[in-house]
Amino acid sequence: MTVQQFQKDNRNIIDWINELQDYSLVEKIKTIMNKSQENTLTSEQKDAIDEALADVEKNGTKSHETVMAATKARYPHLF
Q: What is the pLDDT of residues 4-37, one digit of tens each?
A: 999 999 999 999 989 888 889 989 988 988 887 6
Each domain of the chain, given as residue ranges in start order, spans 3-78
> What pLDDT, on a 0 to 100 scale, did the predictor assign at position 41?
84
Render pLDDT for 30-61 as a digit per residue (tens, 0 to 9). 898 888 766 788 889 999 999 999 999 999 99
DSSP category for residue 39: T
d(CA 71, CA 1): 47
The values of phi and psi at residue 25, to 5°, are -70, -40
**Residues 4, 10: Cα–Cα separation, whole Å:** 10
